[in-house]
Chains A and B, each alone.
Chain A
Amino acid sequence: MSEERRNWICSTLDVSGGSRVEGDPTQLLSMGVAAKDKLWAPGTELKVRFLRGGSDLHARTLAKASAWFLDGVNLKLRAAQGGEKADIRIDFNPASGSWSYVGTDCQGIHPSQPTMNLGWATMDTSDEDFSSVVIHEFGHALGLLHEHNHPDAKIDWDKAAVYADLGGSPNNWDKKTIDHNVFAKFEDGKVIKTGFDNVSVMIYTVPPNWTTNGASFMPSWKLSQGDAETIRKLYG
């Protein structure tokens, strides 16, 4: 695992609402979280358009994203044909970081604009790093959210340390942005059950100095068993 991957975490755009995928309530990272009102209709064939990059980069991205489309997941993914409307539009703007709109929110974005950016994904990116960022962002595109925003996520934040870190380089976020992206809590929604998972690809990177008890979290670089159960539950 490269130091590069250890040091990125993405932000989602417009993540209000959500539902919990239930796990052992005593385990912090047992939850899957999905925006219940932003899931794609079962059977949807999601069409992807790339706004820049070469065909090899496009093929590599689609290959990694296919990790979500398991047996039992009633969704399909393919590249949009010329002139065809795309549900997910991917840019590789290196100045824009990594982010994605959540689920069907992508449909509200102007067709000329990206719904996802993979700013650190190139053909030179290591396989683990590339997998990590692509699978994570496609998780958002399928409606999955960050674990740490769940109302039952019992993370003992040292908010002052987080403000101090994220207010400076390389992020330079203002307090309002930090409050929204890190500390905001989703409203409780419908509960969907999956098995216990503490290695979700959707877990947010949290260094130990951001918590008062030294807890730290690091996302997986590939789909975990719990992630697989979650996506099957959502789209099975």
Chain B
Amino acid sequence: MTAWRLRGDVLVFEHLRLRLHRIGLAHWHAGAVLRSWGAVALHRSGDALHAPCAAGEALWLGVWLDEEGVTAEVALIDPLTARRAAIAPPGGFQIAGLCGDDAALHPLVQTGAILGIQLRCGTASTAASLQLLAPAAWAALSGRPAPDPLTGPPPLPPRLG
């Protein structure tokens, strides 16, 4: 196992980069590519990550590589429900939810569950856990201010040529 680290609110493991993003739960749609309504602040305690997630919002996990020609895998698992999701960047870049035995995709919302994160980059691998907390509980734990409530979707991205 190789160590991972936080750079700001980005999880860095070898050439892998992971960052959580917020979206209004009403705008979460299974199978859709989700836009970011804002990045999520992270608090680390050992190998555990804690993220604020208010009622009415969902999070998605963004994944990318900072190097070409690298293979990697990222898996997110809820051990209690056995729901899971996995992607293999650079082909995949977003874990929008967890898939259960019912084959349905379920949004990442604050349930108190401790999720497992499994990372592989090249031949190196590591693991972490992720718990989504109510903003006030996260603020108390991290000593950082709770994020502002979501107010609506962000403006459309720049229009390209």
Q: Which residues of A contact B (CB under 8 A)?
A: 6-11, 96-99, 117, 119, 157-161, 163-171, 173, 175, 181, 205, 207, 209, 212-213
Query: Which of B39, B64, B157, B161 has the most C-beta atoms of chain A within 10 angstroms of its own C-beta?
Result: B161
What would 14 A/B residue contacts be, using CB atoms closer than 8 Å? A9-B160, A9-B161, A97-B161, A159-B93, A164-B21, A164-B35, A165-B36, A166-B157, A166-B160, A167-B33, A168-B33, A175-B91, A209-B36, A212-B10
In the complex, which of the residues B8, B17, B35, B159 contacts A213, with contact meaning CB atoms closer than 8 Å? B8
For B10, list chain A residues within 8 Å (CB).
158, 212
Do B158 and A160 touch (CB < 8 A)? no
CA distance A165 to B21 in the complex (A): 12
B46 to chain A, nearest CB (A): 23
Q: A158-B62, A160-B64, A209-B154 are in contact. Are A119 and B94 (CB under 8 A)?
A: no
Do B36 and A164 touch (CB < 8 A)? yes
Q: What is the predominant secondary structure among interface residues of chain B facing chain A?
A: loop
Do A158 and B156 touch (CB < 8 A)? no
CA distance A167 to B62 in the complex (A): 14
Q: Interface size for chain B: under 10, 10 to 19, 20 to 34, or 35 or more residues?
A: 20 to 34
Q: Which residues of B contact A (CB under 8 A)?
A: 7-10, 17, 19, 21, 33-36, 38-39, 62-64, 90-91, 93-94, 154-161
Report how many A-B pairs have Cβ atoms within 8 Å: 98
Q: A158-B62, A159-B64, A163-B93 are in contact. Are A168 and B19 (CB under 8 A)?
A: no
Query: What is the chain A residue whose CB lies nearest that of B36?
Result: A161
Given A166-B160, A170-B156, A209-B39, 10 other A-B contacts at CB below 8 A? A7-B157, A8-B161, A117-B161, A119-B161, A160-B19, A163-B33, A170-B159, A209-B38, A212-B8, A212-B9
